[in-house]
């Protein structure tokens, strides 16, 4: 029943698209305060973090509902995983604008000490070749915005 509840809550930005993990997806749930990335504790309000095999995206969240990360993130550097977490946390906290969620993620990472200039380069490398979408800037522009956010915090 918990897996069904988690799957039904996987709505993304503005509730226009709902994605549910396949029935065979494995889900690992971490209560608030129990999720760590590279030795850093990552919390997002009262969110339970769900790590899902085959989520279909690196991360998904909806306001006050679900913070889910794809298990494939384990293949990325710690700063990239942290950025995805913090970006989705911004959505969980109600920030639905993608650019603003990026800004909040960079601010959180810089304040908490897990984004360095080198880490910012890794984050940019992970988004740079993205074509963008109706909600996300194309990779080069998104990277430029991330660098601006980093400089301003």
Q: 99-135, pLDDT tens digit by residue?
A: 999 999 999 999 999 999 999 999 999 999 999 999 9
- Could you tell me the pTM of the whole model? 0.81
Is residue 66 predicted with pLDDT exceeding 90? no
Q: What mean pLDDT value characterizes the chain?
A: 84
Which sequence spans correspond to the domains of the chain? 2-152
Residue 50's Cα: distance from chain center in Å? 12
Residue 135 phi, psi dihedral angles, 5° rounding: -115, -25
First to last CA, the chain: 42
**Cβ-contact 127, 139 below 8 angstroms:** yes
pLDDT score at 40: 86
DSSP-derived 3-state class of residue 69: strand
User: In Å, how far are 6, 55, 68, 139 from 20, measured between CA atoms?
Assistant: 8, 8, 11, 26
pLDDT, position 64: 83
Q: Is the pLDDT of residue 6 over 50?
A: no
Report pLDDT for 65. Answer: 75
Give ∠ CA 93-97-101 in degrees, rounded to 5: 55
Closest CA to 79 of 126, 34, 47: 126
Q: Which of 18-27, 61-70, 103-112 has the lowest mean pLDDT?
A: 18-27
- What are 97's two structure tokens? 């604008």
- The predicted structure's pLDDT at residue 96: 94
């Amino acid at each position: 029943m918990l897996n069904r509840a988690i799957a039904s809550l996987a709505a993304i930005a503005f509730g226009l698209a709902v994605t549910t993990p396949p029935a065979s997806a494995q889900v690992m749930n971490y209560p608030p305060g129990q999720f760590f990335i590279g030795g850093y504790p990552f919390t997002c309000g009262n969110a339970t973090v769900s790590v899902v095999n085959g989520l279909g995206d690196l991360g998904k969240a909806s306001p006050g509902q679900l913070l889910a990360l794809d298990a494939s993130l384990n293949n990325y550097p710690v700063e990239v995983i942290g950025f995805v977490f913090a970006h989705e946390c911004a959505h969980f906290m109600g920030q639905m604008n993608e650019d603003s969620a990026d800004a909040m993620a960079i601010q959180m990472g810089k304040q908490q000490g897990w984004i360095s200039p080198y880490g910012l380069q890794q984050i940019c490398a992970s988004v740079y070749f993205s074509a963008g979408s109706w909600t996300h800037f194309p990779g080069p522009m998104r990277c430029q915005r991330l660098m601006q956010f980093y400089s301003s915090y």
